[in-house]
Amino acid sequence: MAGSGALALKGIRVLDFTWIHAGPSATRILSDQGAQVIKVESNQALAVVGGPASNTARGLGQRHNWNAGKSSISLNMKTEAGKELARRLVSVSDVVAENFSGRVMPSWGLNYESIRRIRPDIIMLSMSGFGRTGPWKDRVSYGQTLQAWSGFTNLTGFPDTRPSGPASAYSDAVGGMAGAQAVLLALIQRAHTGRGQWIDLSQMESMSTLLGPLALELSVNKNDVQRTGNRQPHGGGAPHGAYRCQGDDRWLAITVFNSEDWDAFVLALGSPSWALEPRFATTESRLEHADGLDKLVEGWTLEQNAEEAMHLLQAAGVAAGVVQTGKDMAENDPHLRERGIFQQVPDAAGVLQTIERAPYKLSRTSGEVTNGAPEFGADQDLVLREILGVDDEELAEMAIAGTFD
């Protein structure tokens, strides 16, 4: 029966010091599967809104998307009282997650060796730009610099243009998924052995794993892979690219790999005379004359509505897809709408906020988010009283000692 089982991470508690995008997206994945994620926040950090677009509609939207379903407490980690409370929270947690530079957690006395003395089976996720070892371990970075440094940006673009790279911090999302995966592996290992471990994650290395055959090309052919635009660097098929359609900035991606694809493509177009020319007779000859073929294909797509052309080609068995905008995906895509990839959840004021659900569905432990990100420090009492058993007198003493930010 679908959705009949308990959530996969029910009973797991995560103490979440992460901020901006990469770390919060990792712990959001854990939260979706039932982990109790306690987000430790500070008025001094951008984590209050979830990203560098401080206190704007975009920033608040990011906060809800990356921190939905979590609890929030505020701690002043500049005070000994704040650090002591953090250590108490470590003692009742299964996972500690952070994505600071290598200097921050040790300065609080919360590096892995320290927290392991508090709880021997703790799992610690450290997500930094370059990892905790190596000559670049202390260098600073954000998404765009990591994408460039990893080699990803150099592969993105056309041969006669500058490197482009994705417009968003793609490396943050990739790092977040890698971080969540690593925590799950560590939890499985702990379930078998009873032992925790430290996860040293490099976001640069997470991006470098997406470079495809670059390392293989260097090792075998001694060649450096160059930008190829929409075409594959190792042959493939033709036509293979994104082609302009009717309307403003409307495009259709088409992929034809072999003769069977080509025959279906030609038939779907009504067998135009140019498609029957000898230069397009074989896969090899189509690759040789790819530039000319692209112009002819775009001559057809320019007269087509992108969505209608996609449906026409797909019905013929040809891989084709509209180059969708964010508006297309959020408002006009019937497939995404039916699968519910975007869902609305209420924030603390009851206002519905749109967030992304997990891009997978488990038949027994599907996971879900029922509310948006918490307001700053909204769960202070819940965490302190119910989890740590703090009473009114101790709570007052903590406030006087400057524990809370």
pTM, 2 dp: 0.89
Q: Give the pLDDT confidence score for residue 56 in this predicted structure.
A: 65
Question: Does 303 lie in the same domain as 363?
Answer: no
Is 288 among the domain residues?
yes
Long-range CB pairs of 207-215, under 8 A, 24+ apart, other chains included: 207/146, 207/147, 207/150, 207/151, 207/152, 207/170, 207/171, 207/174, 207/175, 208/150, 208/151, 208/152, 210/150, 210/152, 210/174, 211/150, 211/151, 211/152, 211/155, 212/155, 214/151, 214/155
Question: Does 168 lie in the same domain as 105?
Answer: yes
Task: Kindly calculate the radius of gyration of the chain based on its CA atoms and give it in whole angstroms.
Answer: 25
Decide which of 275, 304, 331 is a domain's last residue: 331
- Rounded CA separation 16/21 (Å): 13
Q: Are 208 and 131 in contact (CB under 8 A)?
A: no
Active site annotation includes 172:
yes
The catalytically annotated residue of 16, 32, 94, 172 is 172
Q: Which domain holds residue 316?
A: 240-331
User: Residue 20 gets which letter from DSSP?
Assistant: T
Is 153 among the domain residues?
yes
Question: Does 157 lie in the same domain as 26?
Answer: yes
Residues comprising the chain, all counted: 405
Tally of domains within the chain: 2
Tokens 């499985």 belong to 188
Residues 51-88: pLDDT tens digits? 445 566 667 778 888 999 999 999 999 999 999 999 99
Whether 244 has a pLDDT exceeding 90, the answer reads yes
Is 87 among the domain residues?
yes
Residues 108-156: pLDDT tens digits? 999 999 999 999 999 999 999 999 999 999 888 888 899 999 888 888 8
Residues 181-223: pLDDT tens digits? 999 999 999 999 999 999 999 999 999 888 877 777 777 877 7
Q: Are 15 and 374 in contact (CB under 8 A)?
A: no
